[in-house]
Amino acid sequence: MRLSGRDISCVRGGREVFSGLDFEAASGEALAVVGPNGSGKTSLLRLIAGLLTPSRGSVHLEGGEAELTLPEQSHYLGHRDAIKPALSVAENLWFWRDFLGGTVFNPAETLAVVELDHAARLPAAFLSAGQRRRLSIARLMAVRRPIWLLDEPTNALDASGQIMFTTLMGDHLARGGLIIAATHAPLGVAARSLRIGEAT
Protein backbone atom coordinates (compact mmCIF):
# COMPACT_ATOMS: atom_id res chain seq x y z
CA MET A 1 0.00 0.00 0.00
CA ARG A 2 1.32 3.42 -0.91
CA LEU A 3 -0.12 6.78 0.02
CA SER A 4 1.11 9.78 -1.87
CA GLY A 5 0.27 13.42 -2.36
CA ARG A 6 1.33 15.51 -5.33
CA ASP A 7 1.61 19.27 -5.40
CA ILE A 8 -0.99 19.82 -2.71
CA SER A 9 -2.10 23.32 -1.81
CA CYS A 10 -4.43 24.18 1.00
CA VAL A 11 -6.34 27.42 1.47
CA ARG A 12 -8.07 28.12 4.76
CA GLY A 13 -10.08 31.26 5.37
CA GLY A 14 -8.73 32.90 2.21
CA ARG A 15 -5.10 32.37 3.25
CA GLU A 16 -2.79 29.86 1.65
CA VAL A 17 -1.55 27.59 4.42
CA PHE A 18 0.88 25.60 2.30
CA SER A 19 1.40 24.98 -1.37
CA GLY A 20 3.21 22.62 -3.67
CA LEU A 21 3.54 19.93 -1.01
CA ASP A 22 4.62 16.41 -2.00
CA PHE A 23 4.70 13.45 0.29
CA GLU A 24 4.85 9.71 0.07
CA ALA A 25 4.52 6.87 2.54
CA ALA A 26 4.30 3.11 2.08
CA SER A 27 3.14 0.19 4.21
CA GLY A 28 5.18 -0.18 7.36
CA GLU A 29 6.37 3.39 7.21
CA ALA A 30 5.73 6.30 9.49
CA LEU A 31 5.80 9.87 8.30
CA ALA A 32 6.25 12.59 10.90
CA VAL A 33 4.85 15.93 9.80
CA VAL A 34 6.80 18.65 11.55
CA GLY A 35 6.62 22.40 11.38
CA PRO A 36 5.87 25.45 13.49
CA ASN A 37 2.41 26.24 14.87
CA GLY A 38 0.00 27.30 12.17
CA SER A 39 2.05 25.75 9.39
CA GLY A 40 -0.79 23.46 8.33
CA LYS A 41 0.03 20.12 9.95
CA THR A 42 -3.54 19.57 11.09
CA SER A 43 -4.86 20.84 7.75
CA LEU A 44 -2.71 18.28 5.92
CA LEU A 45 -4.03 15.44 8.08
CA ARG A 46 -7.63 16.58 7.65
CA LEU A 47 -7.02 16.85 3.95
CA ILE A 48 -5.81 13.26 3.78
CA ALA A 49 -8.79 12.24 5.92
CA GLY A 50 -11.11 13.80 3.35
CA LEU A 51 -12.41 16.40 5.79
CA LEU A 52 -10.92 19.24 3.74
CA THR A 53 -10.52 19.51 0.00
CA PRO A 54 -7.20 20.67 -1.41
CA SER A 55 -7.33 23.80 -3.53
CA ARG A 56 -4.85 22.15 -5.87
CA GLY A 57 -3.28 18.71 -6.16
CA SER A 58 -4.58 15.41 -4.89
CA VAL A 59 -3.93 12.51 -2.57
CA HIS A 60 -3.69 8.98 -3.96
CA LEU A 61 -3.80 5.60 -2.34
CA GLU A 62 -2.47 2.62 -4.24
CA GLY A 63 -3.03 -0.94 -3.20
CA GLY A 64 -5.65 -0.48 -0.52
CA GLU A 65 -9.00 -2.23 -0.55
CA ALA A 66 -10.43 -1.25 -3.90
CA GLU A 67 -14.01 -0.91 -2.66
CA LEU A 68 -13.20 1.54 0.09
CA THR A 69 -12.14 5.17 -0.10
CA LEU A 70 -9.07 6.50 1.66
CA PRO A 71 -11.00 8.01 4.61
CA GLU A 72 -12.84 4.72 5.07
CA GLN A 73 -9.55 2.91 5.58
CA SER A 74 -8.14 5.52 7.92
CA HIS A 75 -8.25 6.28 11.58
CA TYR A 76 -8.17 9.96 12.44
CA LEU A 77 -7.02 10.87 15.92
CA GLY A 78 -7.57 14.61 16.17
CA HIS A 79 -7.39 17.27 18.84
CA ARG A 80 -11.04 16.72 19.61
CA ASP A 81 -11.38 13.25 20.99
CA ALA A 82 -14.93 12.25 19.99
CA ILE A 83 -15.82 11.17 23.51
CA LYS A 84 -19.30 11.69 24.90
CA PRO A 85 -19.14 12.73 28.57
CA ALA A 86 -22.60 11.30 29.28
CA LEU A 87 -21.61 7.77 28.25
CA SER A 88 -19.33 5.48 30.19
CA VAL A 89 -15.82 4.70 28.99
CA ALA A 90 -16.88 1.26 27.75
CA GLU A 91 -20.02 2.62 26.05
CA ASN A 92 -17.94 5.21 24.19
CA LEU A 93 -15.59 2.52 22.95
CA TRP A 94 -18.44 0.13 22.08
CA PHE A 95 -20.12 2.77 20.01
CA TRP A 96 -17.05 3.51 17.91
CA ARG A 97 -16.34 -0.20 17.56
CA ASP A 98 -19.87 -0.76 16.21
CA PHE A 99 -20.02 2.39 14.12
CA LEU A 100 -16.60 1.98 12.53
CA GLY A 101 -17.33 -1.68 11.85
CA GLY A 102 -14.90 -3.45 14.13
CA THR A 103 -15.35 -7.20 14.33
CA VAL A 104 -13.03 -8.82 16.83
CA PHE A 105 -12.94 -6.97 20.07
CA ASN A 106 -12.81 -7.71 23.72
CA PRO A 107 -13.55 -4.42 25.49
CA ALA A 108 -11.86 -5.35 28.73
CA GLU A 109 -8.71 -6.38 26.88
CA THR A 110 -8.60 -3.26 24.75
CA LEU A 111 -9.13 -1.03 27.75
CA ALA A 112 -6.41 -2.92 29.60
CA VAL A 113 -3.94 -2.10 26.82
CA VAL A 114 -4.48 1.61 27.43
CA GLU A 115 -4.69 1.06 31.22
CA LEU A 116 -8.30 2.22 31.49
CA ASP A 117 -9.90 -1.12 32.47
CA HIS A 118 -10.47 0.06 36.03
CA ALA A 119 -12.57 2.98 34.72
CA ALA A 120 -14.68 1.06 32.18
CA ARG A 121 -17.99 1.86 33.87
CA LEU A 122 -17.11 5.42 34.80
CA PRO A 123 -18.85 8.22 32.87
CA ALA A 124 -16.30 9.68 30.48
CA ALA A 125 -16.99 13.14 31.92
CA PHE A 126 -14.75 12.21 34.85
CA LEU A 127 -11.71 11.32 32.75
CA SER A 128 -8.61 13.50 32.81
CA ALA A 129 -7.11 14.86 29.59
CA GLY A 130 -4.56 12.05 29.49
CA GLN A 131 -7.20 9.41 30.11
CA ARG A 132 -9.37 10.83 27.34
CA ARG A 133 -6.43 10.54 25.00
CA ARG A 134 -5.93 6.93 26.11
CA LEU A 135 -9.59 6.22 25.36
CA SER A 136 -9.16 7.72 21.87
CA ILE A 137 -6.15 5.49 21.36
CA ALA A 138 -8.26 2.50 22.42
CA ARG A 139 -10.45 3.28 19.39
CA LEU A 140 -7.46 2.61 17.12
CA MET A 141 -7.13 -0.79 18.79
CA ALA A 142 -10.82 -1.67 18.69
CA VAL A 143 -11.11 -1.31 14.93
CA ARG A 144 -8.30 -2.31 12.61
CA ARG A 145 -7.56 0.24 9.95
CA PRO A 146 -4.35 0.23 7.88
CA ILE A 147 -3.83 4.00 7.88
CA TRP A 148 -3.46 6.02 11.06
CA LEU A 149 -3.65 9.81 10.84
CA LEU A 150 -2.49 11.13 14.18
CA ASP A 151 -2.58 14.75 15.28
CA GLU A 152 -0.24 15.33 18.22
CA PRO A 153 -0.99 11.81 19.45
CA THR A 154 1.07 11.92 22.63
CA ASN A 155 -0.37 15.22 23.87
CA ALA A 156 -1.34 14.97 27.54
CA LEU A 157 0.00 11.41 27.82
CA ASP A 158 2.28 10.64 30.74
CA ALA A 159 5.64 8.88 30.34
CA SER A 160 4.18 5.37 30.59
CA GLY A 161 1.40 6.33 28.19
CA GLN A 162 3.95 7.52 25.65
CA ILE A 163 5.86 4.25 25.93
CA MET A 164 2.60 2.32 25.57
CA PHE A 165 1.67 4.29 22.47
CA THR A 166 5.13 3.89 20.94
CA THR A 167 4.73 0.13 21.32
CA LEU A 168 1.29 0.25 19.70
CA MET A 169 2.64 2.27 16.77
CA GLY A 170 5.52 -0.19 16.41
CA ASP A 171 3.06 -3.12 16.29
CA HIS A 172 0.92 -1.30 13.76
CA LEU A 173 3.91 -0.66 11.48
CA ALA A 174 5.09 -4.25 11.88
CA ARG A 175 1.66 -5.44 10.66
CA GLY A 176 2.11 -3.36 7.53
CA GLY A 177 0.24 -0.32 8.70
CA LEU A 178 0.96 3.22 7.71
CA ILE A 179 1.22 6.19 10.05
CA ILE A 180 1.16 9.88 9.29
CA ALA A 181 1.56 11.91 12.44
CA ALA A 182 1.73 15.64 13.06
CA THR A 183 4.01 16.08 15.98
CA HIS A 184 6.38 18.35 17.86
CA ALA A 185 7.89 15.65 20.06
CA PRO A 186 9.91 12.77 18.58
CA LEU A 187 7.52 10.05 17.49
CA GLY A 188 9.45 7.22 19.16
CA VAL A 189 9.36 4.98 16.11
CA ALA A 190 11.56 5.18 13.05
CA ALA A 191 9.97 7.83 10.89
CA ARG A 192 10.82 9.95 7.92
CA SER A 193 9.99 13.56 8.51
CA LEU A 194 8.08 15.92 6.30
CA ARG A 195 8.79 19.57 7.02
CA ILE A 196 6.13 22.07 6.14
CA GLY A 197 5.68 25.78 6.57
CA GLU A 198 9.35 26.67 6.84
CA ALA A 199 10.96 29.44 4.83
CA THR A 200 12.76 27.91 1.90
Partner 1 sequence: MTALAALICRDVRIAFRVGGGALIGVLFFLTVVVLMPFALGPDLALLTRLGPAILWLGALLASLLTLDRLFAADHEDGSLDLIVMGRMPLELACAAKALAHWLAAGLPLVIATPVLGLLLNLDATATSAVALTLLAGTPALTFTGMIGAALAVTLHRGGLLLAVLVLPLSIPVLIFGVAASQGAIIEPLSFGAPFSILCALSLVSFVIGPFAAAASLRYGLD
Which positions lie near partner 1, rule CB under 8 A?
12, 46, 49-52, 68, 71-72, 74, 76, 78-87, 91, 94-96, 98-101
Comparison of 124 and 191: residue with beta carbon closer to partner 1: 124
**Least distance from partner 1 to the Cβ atom of residue 136, Å:** 9
Residue 85, Cβ density class (10 Å: 0-12 exposed, 13-18 middle, ≥19 buried): exposed
Buried b / exposed e along 103-119 (16+ C-beta atoms within 10 A): eeeebeebbebbebeeb
Comparison of 8 and 189: residue with beta carbon closer to partner 1: 8
Comparison of 91 and 117: residue with beta carbon closer to partner 1: 91
Provide the sign of the torsion angle of the four alpha carbons 126, 151, 11, 83, taken in this order: negative
Comparison of 6 and 12: residue with beta carbon closer to partner 1: 12
**Least distance from partner 1 to the Cβ atom of residue 123, Å:** 8
Comparison of 57 and 170: residue with beta carbon closer to partner 1: 57
**Least distance from partner 1 to the Cβ atom of residue 51, Å:** 6
Comparison of 29 and 151: residue with beta carbon closer to partner 1: 151
**Least distance from partner 1 to the Cβ atom of residue 159, Å:** 26
**Least distance from partner 1 to the Cβ atom of residue 99, Å:** 5
**Least distance from partner 1 to the Cβ atom of residue 80, Å:** 3
